[in-house]
Chain A
């Protein structure tokens, strides 16, 4: 038996013993996610047990090094773990911006002390992080951000505002891009700093979206004093001072890869054609609405070709050809496609899916999902920004 197969057997029996029955319903969906954090209320006892056991094993974030609370697993082992979890319908024990965003940034740019201080609480679901990037006047032109961070000797003084901070009102800490050198050119005076949301002067205000939901906040910093060190040798700034843009760029690329790797949500659920047949019906063996049928067929072609492209890019990365700026292509195409897909689902659903409240639509679930997709091509860099990146980095077209 190969090492990997031995590992698979070990994983199988460990999961069998440790994954609570209630956590094996395969439930995805935002409403079932365990986010963790100081303010977190577990949805069930099983959710807590599942997280605690996985965290103790290091498998809540299996790829991180063991000394920082991870499982120290290789890529192949992580795959095995995920596959075995899928096989029994195990839910993900924990999701968070700490895992997706801050962790990768610290692992690449952080000091040993920063990693040791901040990573383990993330893996245990004790601290929930949010991301402070965009500002009211710094959206697509993120590097023009103005949130001020002054050196006051023993501490930093932060003043300014962030916007589109996901779940800021429920988070414990925030990683923020701030301007530490107002005289430098715009990309060169930015730093990446870590701030406790409980610090005096930090406040948040949820933003209600067109979907009726409020996943985002405005976050205000009003004379917030941030210690230079959050513990012995635990610097508040990640990476070099005034080089925060490098960290931000790295994370944005990472974020794009994550958004595109999800296939824009293409992987789950029934096909558009199948749904349309059950809702509209067939006529002479074909979908009764020929114009819609044609649009769906075109969309399924593009969707399938896109999924193959994700697969090909992954395989090329494995073969040693970096994906590089192609993550922008995947982000652009995947998010635009997802919008198109939801438009077609709304076309298929017709007036029935327009009921905003009530049992029949589960309070407008599809409609809210449809509205949510409109942000796909804005967040993480707009489609237009991605096209700019493709033009510049891949096609090497001249600058404007």
Chain B
């Protein structure tokens, strides 16, 4: 497959960019932050996105989705990264839609996929329990109880956790923390008895939560995938999320760089545009090169998720690691090259740095993924 967007995907990108520029620019995120909005995104806007087919971008047509594949989802994530749009796209339309489509049984799929596509339900994926990502570290207990399970433990860094209607949670039904075997995925109601939720105000002004499960009852029907054998299935879902985040960071990096390059052409010091100084030109040119590399890795990861879903682990790690490093560099260079004005809250560039910091941490930072790649390659 050629490593370029198809015409259809390019059209999706152009329409997404137009829509987001108009309806959800950085100013919209700023407003959500300044008004301490309790939802953390605009439900009306999410409805509109659903009507355009974004919410169901990964949902089959028979369930009312657009079925545009991971490249399509990545195109939207990238555009959202450009405009720093707050929405439940990652949690619901990428993570939950992938989990339901790839792992869940018919009953779950038929019930929930149409509601995801329709923008009617918000989902959250609860995996991490400690400050650093690591699905195998899962300690949350899933104890057998009657015909079902009782879930107990804590989850952190759960995107959209405080507004979710449904939660997909990874728990340990066997084995010990650190082991891959023994994980089971459950789909539970966010209002279920025993779940308490603390919304966490994050650096990037986007939604996250800490959840506590205190003997939450789940039946066998609430299990998605295999009991005790959920690790690989979860990895697949996480890979989709990693590629989505990588695409988002690629978009954020490109936009932060564009804002910076424009500033270099405009800002004058010592009687000249600062962009005429070679010290800055070379840094900008280097950053440009790095961004091109990140774009390539991201597109390949998305294409491989579409073509070889079960084997996309390494390429998704590559994309997440590379996009994470590059986006971080882009945000750092952006502030440094802007000078003092880059440090002001009034100026947008800081929002990019904050979002990138959060996105690169979620589901494994560049070091996590570099380590994972090294392990996969036998060193």
A316 to chain B, nearest CB (A): 6
B202 at the interface (CB under 8 A from A): no
8 Å CB interface, B275-334 against A: 275-278, 280-282, 284-286, 288-289, 292-297, 299-300, 318, 321-322, 325
> How many Å lie between the Cα of A306 and that of B297 in the bound state?
8
| A-contact bits for B92-117, CB 8 A (1 contact / 0 none) | 00000000000000000000000000
State whether B379 touches A398 (Cβ < 8 A): no
Q: Which residues of A contact B374 (CB under 8 A)?
A: 273, 286-287, 293, 296-297, 300
8 Å CB interface, A332-391 against B: 332-333, 384, 386-388, 390-391
Q: Which residues of A contact B193 (CB under 8 A)?
A: none
Evaluate whether A312 and B284 lie within 8 angstroms (CB atoms) in the complex, with A301-B321, A304-B297, A305-B318 already known: no
B35 at the interface (CB under 8 A from A): no
A251 to chain B, nearest CB (A): 22
B31 at the interface (CB under 8 A from A): no
Q: Which residues of B contact A271 (CB under 8 A)?
A: 377
> How many Å lie between the Cα of A26 and that of B379 in the bound state?
29
B359 to chain A, nearest CB (A): 17
B57 at the interface (CB under 8 A from A): no
| B-contact bits for A277-298, CB 8 A (1 contact / 0 none) | 1000010011100000110111
- Pick the residue among A302, A388, A397 that contacts B322 (CB under 8 A): A302
A311 at the interface (CB under 8 A from B): yes
8 Å CB interface, B36-83 against A: none
> How many Å lie between the Cα of A332 and that of B374 in the bound state?
26
State whether B379 touches A308 (Cβ < 8 A): no
Q: Which residues of B contact A32 (CB under 8 A)?
A: none
> How many Å lie between the Cα of A400 and that of B270 in the bound state?
12
A276 at the interface (CB under 8 A from B): yes
A210 at the interface (CB under 8 A from B): no
State whether A397 touches B379 (Cβ < 8 A): no
Select the residue from B277, B375, B379 with max chain A CB neighbours within 10 A. B379
State whether A315 touches B373 (Cβ < 8 A): no
B4 at the interface (CB under 8 A from A): yes
- Pick the residue among B264, B281, B293, B379 that contacts A302 (CB under 8 A): B293
> How many Å lie between the Cα of A287 and that of B378 in the bound state?
9
B23 at the interface (CB under 8 A from A): no
Evaluate whether A311 and B296 lie within 8 angstroms (CB atoms) in the complex, with A274-B378, A293-B374 already known: yes
Select the residue from B265, B289, B295, B299 with max chain A CB neighbours within 10 A. B289
State whether A398 touches B265 (Cβ < 8 A): yes
Q: Which residues of A contact B4 (CB under 8 A)?
A: 312, 315-316, 319
> Interface majority SS on B: helix, strand, loop or mixed?
helix
State whether B289 touches A274 (Cβ < 8 A): no
State whether B318 touches A400 (Cβ < 8 A): no
Measured CB to CB, the nearest residue on chain B to A309 is B296
Q: Which residues of A contact B375 (CB under 8 A)?
A: 285-286
Measured CB to CB, the nearest residue on chain B to A397 is B275
A190 to chain B, nearest CB (A): 25
State whether B379 touches A400 (Cβ < 8 A): no
B285 to chain A, nearest CB (A): 4
Evaluate whether A400 and B297 lie within 8 angstroms (CB atoms) in the complex, with A273-B374, A319-B2, A332-B289 already known: no
Q: Which residues of A contact B198 (CB under 8 A)?
A: none
B367 to chain A, nearest CB (A): 8
> How many Å lie between the Cα of A304 and that of B300 in the bound state?
11
> How many Å lie between the Cα of A309 and that of B299 in the bound state?
10
Interface residues on A, range: 35 or more
Q: Which residues of B contact A274 (CB under 8 A)?
A: 377-379
8 Å CB interface, A43-67 against B: none
A283 to chain B, nearest CB (A): 11
Evaluate whether A399 and B276 lie within 8 angstroms (CB atoms) in the complex, with A274-B377, A308-B3, A390-B289 already known: yes
State whether A293 touches B379 (Cβ < 8 A): yes
State whether A297 touches B293 (Cβ < 8 A): no
B120 at the interface (CB under 8 A from A): no
Q: Which residues of A contact B261 (CB under 8 A)?
A: 395, 397
Measured CB to CB, the nearest residue on chain B to A320 is B4
Evaluate whether A397 and B265 lie within 8 angstroms (CB atoms) in the complex, with A305-B293, A308-B296, A384-B282 already known: yes
Evaluate whether A398 and B272 lie within 8 angstroms (CB atoms) in the complex, with A297-B374, A309-B292, A315-B3 already known: yes
A199 at the interface (CB under 8 A from B): no
Q: Which residues of A contact B325 (CB under 8 A)?
A: 301
A198 at the interface (CB under 8 A from B): no
B221 at the interface (CB under 8 A from A): no
State whether A396 touches B265 (Cβ < 8 A): yes
B371 at the interface (CB under 8 A from A): yes
B14 to chain A, nearest CB (A): 15
Q: Which residues of A contact B367 (CB under 8 A)?
A: 294
> How many Å lie between the Cα of A294 and that of B371 in the bound state?
8
A87 at the interface (CB under 8 A from B): no
Select the residue from A309, A333, A391, A394 with max chain B CB neighbours within 10 A. A391
Q: Which residues of B contact A308 (CB under 8 A)?
A: 3, 293, 296-297, 299-300
State whether B379 touches A315 (Cβ < 8 A): no
8 Å CB interface, B334-356 against A: none
State whether B273 touches A333 (Cβ < 8 A): no
B12 at the interface (CB under 8 A from A): no
- Pick the residue among A286, A305, A312 that contacts B379 (CB under 8 A): A286
A329 at the interface (CB under 8 A from B): yes
Measured CB to CB, the nearest residue on chain B to A334 is B289
> How many Å lie between the Cα of A58 and that of B204 in the bound state?
62
State whether B264 touches A387 (Cβ < 8 A): no
B370 at the interface (CB under 8 A from A): yes
- Pick the residue among B3, B284, B299, B318 that contacts A391 (CB under 8 A): B284
Given pairs A308-B299, A388-B285, 7 additional interface contacts (CB within 8 A): A273-B377, A274-B377, A297-B370, A306-B293, A387-B281, A391-B284, A395-B288
CB<8 Å pairs between A and B, sample of 8: A301-B369, A305-B294, A309-B293, A332-B285, A386-B285, A391-B282, A397-B284, A400-B276
